[in-house]
Chain A
Amino acid sequence: MTRNAEGATVVAAAVLAAFGVTLVNFAREQSIDAQTALTFLVFLIAFGGVHLAVRTWAPRATPLLIAPITALTALGFIEIYRLDPVKAGLQRWWMLIASGAAIAVLALFARSSTTILRRYRNITLLIALILLLLPNLPTDWGFPLKGLVVNGSRLWIVLDMGFTTLQFQPAELAKLGFVIYVAAYLADHQKALREARRHLGPIRFPEPRQLIPLVVTWVVSILILISQRDLGASLLLFAGFVLLLYAATGTAGYLVAGGFMAAAAGVASYYMFDHVQRRVIAWLTPFQHFDDEGYQIAQGLFGMGTGSLSGAGPGLGRPDLIPNASTDFIFAAVGEELGFAGTVSVLALFSLVIAVGLGISFRSRDMFRKLLAAGLTFVFAVQTFLIIGGVVRVVPLTGITLPFMSYGGSALVGNLILIALLLRISHEEAT
């Protein structure tokens, strides 16, 4: 696929989004309005802009990333629009902001290289930690940047610009900072960490002191689970770290140890927190607990089942019956209105993004870039698996967003920056 073909797919995805919006309008109001043109234009500007930035600043980057993410954003956007046109209008603004951020990242590295991130890893970590702590700012002080409490958890900050406010989840950006830091750390200490002399059966285990980073991450994950009640973020952080540790060292002992630690924490949290218990009950027996814990998952399954092969059609199903359909359950909404055809397409597009991301890591000669590409892709893959798996009952529901598809600006910004970094690495490693 060439750069020109990439441009063509961006236009095609913009047409897809605009066509979907038109179908929704027609099904619901039997009229066609300016939303069609607006959607087409925003998609064209946002993703066409990223495409042009790649042409300018990363011309040797793979042409296989922008196409699938634009298509995923389009499929998600159709359902967001169908569920709540107001949210869809906000999401369009976020698309412009997020693509602006991605373009800025590409421009930033135009003269240098992503390897400078390795040098600034400690600053990156510091920024990530500050971002994580930002929601703890006072909610009522004079400064325009405030903390915000949503559903009892402090995950948000608010930028009060006088004429309007902007809400943001800084953890979505902090996630990238952690991946950069861990990739740099492992690139430095990879040799030492790889020496694993202890054997337990066929599996080699590292020295106890080498397990310290693993233990630190484990404790941080548990703290996130306790303080923010965010099962998804906690799992995502730990799984991403363990996978990257294994990728850097090739020592299966880390996987085994990590697996045991996660299992121990999981079992303990099941007995300690009833929000974890409710998730497990909803996962195992959604229909027996239809009136309370299982309602959301059962409605998601009903929606997808009713959608069946070809789906109800945009605007013609009832995904609004599923609680949180536009965020956690966007995959079920796609399944209901676009059917099996839609869900299989979504899985294929995500698989393509992950395959391309891992391919970039494969071909990288520089250890830091190899680990950074791998880490970014792992986080993306684990997040995708956890939320889709939660909706289709492969794993308990963890309540994180589906990249590019769920409603939410912070996640879109974070994920587009993630893609920009992958594109840049791909450019730098291209021969």
Chain B
Amino acid sequence: MNGPVRRIAIGVFTSFCALLLAVTWIQVVHADALKADPRNARPALSERGKERGLIVTIDGIVVAESVVDPLDPRTFVRTYPEGEAFAHIVGYNSFILGNSGLENAYASILRSKRDLTISDLVSVLLGRDLRPHSLEMTVNGSLQRAAYEALAGQTGAVLALDPKTGAVLAAVSSPSFDPESLLGDDASTVWDSLLADPESPLSDRATRELFAPGSTFKTVVTATALDTGEADPETEFPDPVEYELEGSTGTISNFDGGFCNGGNPVTLLVAFIRSCNTIFADLSVRLGAEDIGITASALGFNTDLTFPWTVPQATYPVDDLIDDPAALAQSGIGERDVRATPLHMAMVAAAVANQGLVPSPYLVSRVFDADGNVLEAPEPAPIGRAMAPATASVLAQMMEQVVTNGTGRNATVPDVRVAGKTGTAEGAGDGPHAWFIGFAPVENPTIAIAVLIAGGGDFGESATGGAVAAPIAADLISLWLRGTP
């Protein structure tokens, strides 16, 4: 009689081995995937109510802080005292939506390790510190606030860098949102209404959105011309009223539709400070896509940047332009398929200010433990050299003349030597993208800046970089160098 019972026993224990295998699959092999599934609320819920580290600006303004929940003193609520001005870079820590910005990029540093598990108990006994760590941003709080106010609700962005180190001094995107509105139980509703907003306040236009750089890209073309010896500031170019695109019936004309210099031969310097499209289309074709591409790539185009989050690649599509002189001419004035974020364009200005060396942009200056000891103080090395020091100093003088005698007069700051370049690119919205990139003071630059008003801002179709973006840059440079706008 025991024969059948024995065979059933074998069957039963084989079935139990199947259960053991299934449990092993779920809890060991596949566990991380189950944990990471976005529909699994547990990881976010376990973070809810826990203390997180501070985030402060380099001038000591608290931008993210966990405070004791008055309703439940055992838990914490996250507050963002600076609200909208810092929303895109600081991000949020929402138990429904997850993390974004620095809250996401530095999540493992900012979170408390105090999970009440056995391994925590062991860590405490071993004297390890389970309290959350804190971050200090490179951002200057006053400059950031001023930049957000200067944009005044217009669609746009400001990005300021220390041209020598690459430290981000300000990174503002407008319009913005209140990060604290995404922390509660109604986060999904708020999120949906922000997504539906036609001005897309959730978009980070400073570091995570690409725009046609327009004439600001002429700095890249000029750097290539100076570096290769193809031209110097006094090299003369013919001045047609229109540049005829090769292999196409289209033409490129200047901003006002007229000559650059009354039809007389025009120097590169004059073409640059007047931002003449005809001359730069011509120069671009003379230089060729490959040489411009080398300078652009060295400035951070066509490459991935190291940043706390993924920055989209700025593009100068060399391969598409080699056999397409029409597209090459249009690309020389920052149109066609040339795209960059304000971060990239600030890097271009910083490279000119930094004698040709391209600094690596960074956002976090120091990581502290709960006792204030510095754990990390990154100082990233420059990305590389984009132009010879001599080229950079000549280009800096040309950019200074843009502000003194050219399209960038509105960027003038009394008693400060400002260098810059305007840009007015064809936008997708109601008006053009108005740009200004620049740095100051020219003799020893401490700030490089890119200002973008997308779609014309309050000026609509009549917006230009010089009229709309340059005054904002002037105010911020003035604030930075002299303490008043």
Chain A interface (Cβ < 8 Å from any Cβ of B): 27, 30, 243, 246-250, 287, 290, 298, 301-310, 312-313, 316-318, 321, 335, 339-340, 343-344, 347, 350-351, 354-355, 358, 361-362, 367, 370, 374, 378, 381, 385, 388-389, 392-394
- Given A344-B20, A393-B22, are A247 and B8 also a contact pair (CB < 8 Å)? yes
Quote the shortest CB–CB distance from A370 to chain B (angstroms): 6
Number of A-B contacts (CB under 8 A): 135
Task: For B27, give its contact among A304, A317, A388 (CB under 8 Å).
Answer: A304
Instruction: State which of B42-50, B242-250, B252-260, B360-368 sits at the interface with chain A.
Output: B42-50
Instruction: Please encode chain B, from 22 to 46, with 1 for each CB lying within 8 Å of some chain A CB and 0 for all others.
Output: 1110111011111101011111011
Quote the shortest CB–CB distance from A277 to chain B (angstroms): 23
Verify B118–A301 contact, CB threshold 8 A.
no
- Counting chain B CB atoms within 10 Å of each CB, the highest count among A287, A306, A307, A340 belongs to A306
B149 at the interface (CB under 8 A from A): no
Quote the shortest CB–CB distance from A245 to chain B (angstroms): 10
Verify A302–B42 contact, CB threshold 8 A.
yes
Please give me the residue from chain B that is nearest to A306 by CB atom: B42
Please give me the residue from chain B that is nearest to A246 by CB atom: B4
Task: For B42, give its contact among A303, A313, A350 (CB under 8 Å).
Answer: A303
Task: For B35, give its contact among A305, A310, A374 (CB under 8 Å).
Answer: A305
Verify B12–A298 contact, CB threshold 8 A.
no
Verify A358–B5 contact, CB threshold 8 A.
yes
- Given A243-B8, A302-B42, are A385 and B19 also a contact pair (CB < 8 Å)? yes
Complex interface: chain B residues within 8 A of A340 (CB)? 23-24, 27-28
Please give me the residue from chain A that is nearest to B117 by CB atom: A313
Quote the shortest CB–CB distance from A348 to chain B (angstroms): 9
Complex interface: chain A residues within 8 A of B40 (CB)? 302, 305-306
Task: For B23, give its contact among A302, A347, A374 (CB under 8 Å).
Answer: A347
Verify A308–B19 contact, CB threshold 8 A.
no
Complex interface: chain B residues within 8 A of A318 (CB)? 41-42, 45-46
Please give me the residue from chain A that is nearest to B18 by CB atom: A394
Complex interface: chain A residues within 8 A of B19 (CB)? 347, 385, 388-389, 392, 394
- Given A30-B74, A374-B5, A385-B12, are A302 and B27 also a contact pair (CB < 8 Å)? no
Q: Which 3 A-B pairs have the closest CB atoms?
A: A305-B34, A392-B22, A302-B40
A115 to B47, CA, bound (A): 60
28 pairs from A and B in contact (CB 8 Å cutoff):
A243-B8, A248-B4, A250-B1, A250-B3, A287-B39, A302-B39, A304-B27, A305-B31, A306-B31, A306-B43, A307-B31, A308-B27, A308-B31, A312-B46, A316-B115, A318-B45, A321-B42, A335-B23, A335-B26, A340-B27, A344-B20, A344-B23, A351-B13, A354-B12, A362-B6, A381-B12, A385-B16, A392-B23
Please give me the residue from chain A that is nearest to B41 by CB atom: A321
Seed contacts A246-B4, A304-B26, A344-B20; 16 additional CB < 8 Å A-B pairs = A243-B8, A247-B1, A248-B4, A249-B4, A301-B26, A302-B34, A305-B31, A306-B31, A313-B115, A347-B19, A350-B16, A351-B16, A358-B5, A358-B12, A385-B19, A389-B22
Verify B23–A316 contact, CB threshold 8 A.
no
Verify A378–B31 contact, CB threshold 8 A.
no
Quote the shortest CB–CB distance from A252 to chain B (angstroms): 8
Task: For A290, give its contact among B5, B6, B39, B45 (CB under 8 Å).
Answer: B39
Verify A246–B8 contact, CB threshold 8 A.
yes
List which B355-395 residues lie within 8 A (CB) of chain A.
Answer: none
B481 at the interface (CB under 8 A from A): no
A343 to B117, CA, bound (A): 18
Verify A358–B9 contact, CB threshold 8 A.
yes
Complex interface: chain A residues within 8 A of B34 (CB)? 301-302, 304-306
Instruction: Please encode chain B, from 105 to 132, with 1 for each CB lying within 8 Å of some chain A CB and 0 for all others.
Output: 0000000000111110000000000000
B484 at the interface (CB under 8 A from A): no
Complex interface: chain A residues within 8 A of B264 (CB)? none
Complex interface: chain A residues within 8 A of B119 (CB)? 310
Verify B3–A305 contact, CB threshold 8 A.
no
A381 to B26, CA, bound (A): 22
B2 at the interface (CB under 8 A from A): yes
- Counting chain B CB atoms within 10 Å of each CB, the highest count among A305, A344, A361 belongs to A305
Task: For A361, give its contact among B5, B18, B23 (CB under 8 Å).
Answer: B5
Complex interface: chain A residues within 8 A of B116 (CB)? 27, 313, 316
List which B201-249 residues lie within 8 A (CB) of chain A.
Answer: none
Quote the shortest CB–CB distance from A72 to chain B (angstroms): 14
A90 to B222, CA, bound (A): 83
Complex interface: chain B residues within 8 A of A298 (CB)? 39
Complex interface: chain A residues within 8 A of B24 (CB)? 340
Quote the shortest CB–CB distance from B112 to chain A (angstroms): 14
A75 to B266, CA, bound (A): 88
B303 at the interface (CB under 8 A from A): no
B462 at the interface (CB under 8 A from A): no
B15 at the interface (CB under 8 A from A): yes
Complex interface: chain B residues within 8 A of A306 (CB)? 31, 34-35, 40, 42-43
A318 to B95, CA, bound (A): 14
A203 to B16, CA, bound (A): 26
Please give me the residue from chain A that is nearest to B45 by CB atom: A318
Quote the shortest CB–CB distance from A78 to chain B (angstroms): 15
A286 to B3, CA, bound (A): 40
Complex interface: chain A residues within 8 A of B42 (CB)? 302-303, 306, 317-318, 321
Quote the shortest CB–CB distance from A21 to chain B (angstroms): 16
Complex interface: chain B residues within 8 A of A378 (CB)? 8, 12
Complex interface: chain B residues within 8 A of A321 (CB)? 41-42
Complex interface: chain A residues within 8 A of B39 (CB)? 287, 290, 298, 302
Please give me the residue from chain A that is nearest to B19 by CB atom: A388
A313 to B26, CA, bound (A): 18
